[in-house]
Amino acid sequence: MKGACLPAAPDLMVKMMKEVKPVTVIKQDGEKFEFSVKTLLRTNTNSFTIGQEAEFTTMNGMKFKATPRLVDGKMIIETDKLTIVREIQGEDMVEVSNHKRWGGTELSLLKLFI
């Protein structure tokens, strides 16, 4: 169709991902945790126990192994390429991801519903 301006598939996906509001569900049983992030496109669940090595999968499908730990009320999951720190601040959970490979830092604020 000449003259029509349709977005390319990757552009459309980027726009959709920016508008998606993920829902994070956290379950805890003692030292065992289950984090599920749900979007319209997919659900990603990671289960682990504090102090024990576990395999994690990011929302983009990257897999890595790490041993989660609790330090001063913060949950830390760290590899040589990635550090994720989560902590409760009031009624919010703040997550800071530092991607050492890309040199970028991402801050997420998750509303807690108890």
| Residue, of 26 and 15, whose pLDDT is higher | 26
Model confidence pLDDT, tens digit, residues 52-111: 999 999 877 889 999 999 999 899 999 888 888 888 888 777 888 777 665 555 545 455
**pLDDT value of position 97:** 79
- pLDDT greater than 80 at residue 2: no
**pLDDT value of position 114:** 47
| Residue, of 65 and 41, whose pLDDT is higher | 65
Q: How far is CA 42 from CA 2, 7, 26, 33, in A?
A: 35, 23, 17, 20
**pLDDT value of position 50:** 96
**pLDDT value of position 95:** 80
- pLDDT greater than 60 at residue 33: yes
Q: How far is CA 65 from CA 18, 45, 50, 88, in A?
A: 27, 14, 13, 24
For the full predicted model, state whether its pTM sits above 0.75: no
Fold (topology level) of 21-111: Lipocalin (2.40.128)
